[in-house]
Amino acid sequence: MRKLSDTIARLANLRGAALMDGGFNGSSRLTGLEDFGSNPGALRAHVYTPKSLPSEAALVVVLHGCTQTAAGYDIGAGWSEMADRHGFALLFPEQQRQNNPNLCFNWFSPEDNRRAAGEALSIRQMIAVAADRYSIDPARIFVTGLSAGGAMASVMLATYPEVFAGGAIIAGLPYGCASTIPQAFDSMRGHGIPGEAELAALVRAASGHGGRWPTISIWHGSGDATVNPSNAAAIVGQWRSLHGVDVAPSTIEAVDGYPHRVWRDKEGREVIEEYSITGMAHGTPLHTVGEDGCGRSGAYMLEASISSTHHICRFWGLLEDEGGSQQGPQLEPECARQEFLPVPASAQARDTKTHRIYAQQQPADQTRAPAGVGKVIEDALRAAGLMR
């Protein structure tokens, strides 16, 4: 059993991280979406469409992380930039402080993480209205998210699998790994996560779906101290049996210097991919420089010389000017472990600078003595988005 002092220390760290401003200054490119249904989760909705959106375009649903806003995450990850380049529509659900003081989606709450209820239903209602309003191709609807948004993407893929062609989970957690605050906190630390068979059964039971499952792209930094990287392996395991693929990946390669594993089904389709971003902390990996740069680095938006936004779009087939996946050099299994693939030097320099900035942004009162054990735990849980 873990010591209370250990729990308090970890909660305090989460509290400090949660108090950082995860947004960006500047005008938003997004437009509000109103009157999208009963909205039982009390969420906001925003959309973005390029000026020349083609008919039967794709729709990408983007879920921000804790402390972030929809507009801030769009600026950071560069989703509207990518939509302009390749002609698809975007939907941004947004959390409200009245639901979660840290602006986290309530991915662990039984009130919000099941079909036809709470935040999951609100997002489904948004999708229905946006798809109708912008003449979206129903076979090309996708969902992605960071951290709590990534965990909420897992919720949407499990509870409404018939809606999505694919999903991308960045620094997130598998569906069904938590239904209480202590379970959520333990799962974030990599403790108590169910086994693969149980995780897959949880997805099957979430909707009764009998058709083809969405494809899954999984991204995680190996240095993530907020959501343990073991969660990425759990997500792979959760979806592997659903897609009926082997335990061993079909391909192991290096993409932009990072380990990339791919699983193909019996038809040869790439149905699961996983990127391990060596040494990266908690956040969305970006490549912001150069002609093909996308997004802007900041809190939880980390320059890593690889654009998750770009590669996710490619995995989903949204890059019309690129034919199929661009595979990197093939690696032998024993050479594919993340410790043998160094972070590019440019990414190391930027990441170090970013972490120094983060340290400077820490609120000055974080080091003050706690008023009491109960208050510290309660305040930290609320700040981390694990308590209403």
Q: Are 211 and 162 in contact (CB under 8 A)?
A: yes
Q: Which residues are catalytic?
A: 147
363: left (phi over 0), alpha (psi -120 to 50) or beta: beta
Quote the distance between the C-alpha of residue 228 and its chain's center: 14
Backbone angles phi and psi of 273, in degrees to 5: -135, 150
Quote the distance between the C-alpha of residue 74 and its chain's center: 13
Q: Are 39 and 93 in contact (CB under 8 A)?
A: no
- Residue 228 has what DSSP assignment? -
Sign of the CA dihedral with 183 first, then 188, 194, and 197 last: positive
Q: How far apart are CA 333 and CA 313, in angstroms?
A: 26
Q: Are 32 and 45 in contact (CB under 8 A)?
A: yes
Q: How far apart are CA 342 and CA 297, in angstroms?
A: 21
Residues contacting 153, CB < 8 A, separation 6+:
61, 63, 143, 144, 145, 167, 168, 169, 172
Q: How far apart are CA 378 and CA 387, in angstroms?
A: 8
